[in-house]
Amino acid sequence: MVAPSAVAEISSEQLERLIPQIYQKLGLHFDEKKIYFLKTRVAKRMAALRIENARDYVFMITYADPAGLEMQALANLITTNETYMFREYDQLQAFANHCLPELLSARLARGEKMLRVWSAGCSSGEEAYTLAMIVQEVFPESGSWDCKIIASDIDENMLRKVAAARYGQRSVKDVPAEYKHKYLAEDGDEYIVRRRTAALVQPLHLNLHDRIALRAMKGFDVIFCRNVLIYFDDISRKAVVDSFYNALRPGGYIFLGHSESVGRVTTAFTLKRFDNHLVYVKE
């Protein structure tokens, strides 16, 4: 095993080579405050690969990783995956009480019994399953519609958790009691999303910094991309939000996290107020 002292051996010179590559491939921005975190994660990869010298690791990822497999393995370690069900409740209320009924009537007016929701940067899937529960609660007829909630993330370990649909206490702590009972089945200390709800969610491996992959994402009624773009800088944030604009149908909504603003990177969306909450719509 390579000693954990490898953390100290990743020089500034090697980091200066690695950080732009991470930015270019993943859109993730590592500033001074996050350097120690990055060093520990690179050291972990080096230990797994039994590489002792950071220069060899950086050389390998630069010149000997044509399929991006090592960059993907590193991505699995350097993303922040904090999430839980019913996070940012007031935003979900705006979605449930206003956006969703409006989107469903618009679809119905066109004779389309279809709904497409995208949880972009879904981590282990709690957000996507929250949206699935809300769709079923607000719209019990969803069973006879073609409803899909795409749950995408770059982190393969997280996507395995989405597919398992099994969660610990921490993930479900904010689930309202009536929802917990209806949509989750208790299994010892854990909760499993009930089959009818789980069936609405489709995991997808997708790098939000991959413009070509994003072009294939089309026809969405609503996109949730919460607490993801905080790890991007303004340039890559703008590229992602522009792609979201193209992925949405006219009348579609985008929800970002509380600390994130669409207005900072584009004027393409229109701001709408529902109760106390502001949402962005593509008109």
CA angle 197, 228, 137 (to 5 degrees): 25
- Which C-beta is closer to ligand SAM: that of 51 or that of 95? 95
Dihedral (Cα; 195, 96, 172, 88), 10-degree rounding = 150
- Scanning residues 233 to 272, which ones bind ligand SAM (CB under 6 A)? 257
Beta partners for residue 280, in sequence order: 254, 271
Least Å from the CB of residue 213 to ligand SAM = 9
The answer for residues whose C-beta is within 8 angstroms of residue 275's C-beta and 6 or more apart is 90, 93, 94, 97, 98
How many chain residues interact with ligand SAM (CB under 6 A)? 25
- Which C-beta is closer to ligand SAM: that of 51 or that of 265? 265
From candidates 31, 82, 178, 283, binder to ligand SAM by CB under 6 A? 82
Per-residue burial over 242-270, b if 16 or more Cβ lie within 10 Å, else e, is ebbbebbeeebbbbbbeebebeebeebbe
From candidates 227, 244, 252, 279, binder to ligand SAM by CB under 6 A? 227
From candidates 100, 133, 223, 228, binder to ligand SAM by CB under 6 A? 228
From candidates 39, 116, 161, 226, binder to ligand SAM by CB under 6 A? 226
* Nearest by Cα to 132 from 195, 73, 78: 195
Instruction: Say how far apart CA 178 and CA 184 lie, in whole Å.
Output: 10
Which range, of 31-39, 75-83, 167-175, 269-277, touches ligand SAM by CB under 6 A?
75-83
User: 69-78 and 156-164 helices cross at what angle (nearest 10)?
Assistant: 70
From candidates 155, 175, 217, 222, binder to ligand SAM by CB under 6 A? 155
Residue ranges of E strands in the chain: 114-120, 146-153, 166-167, 184-187, 190-193, 201-205, 220-225, 248-256, 270-274, 277-281
From candidates 28, 46, 54, 241, binder to ligand SAM by CB under 6 A? 28
Least Å from the CB of residue 78 to ligand SAM = 9
- Which C-beta is closer to ligand SAM: that of 51 or that of 99? 99
Which range, of 82-90, 98-106, 161-169, 243-251, touches ligand SAM by CB under 6 A?
82-90
From candidates 115, 158, 162, 200, binder to ligand SAM by CB under 6 A? 158
Instruction: Say how far apart CA 66 and CA 91 lie, in whole Å.
Output: 41
Q: Is 172 in the site for ligand SAM (CB under 6 A)?
A: no
Least Å from the CB of residue 119 to ligand SAM = 6
The answer for residues whose C-beta is within 8 angstroms of residue 242's C-beta and 6 or more apart is 266, 268
Q: Is 26 in the site for ligand SAM (CB under 6 A)?
A: yes
Binding footprint of ligand SAM on the chain (CB under 6 A): 26-28, 79-83, 87, 121-123, 127, 153-155, 158, 207-209, 226-228, 231, 257
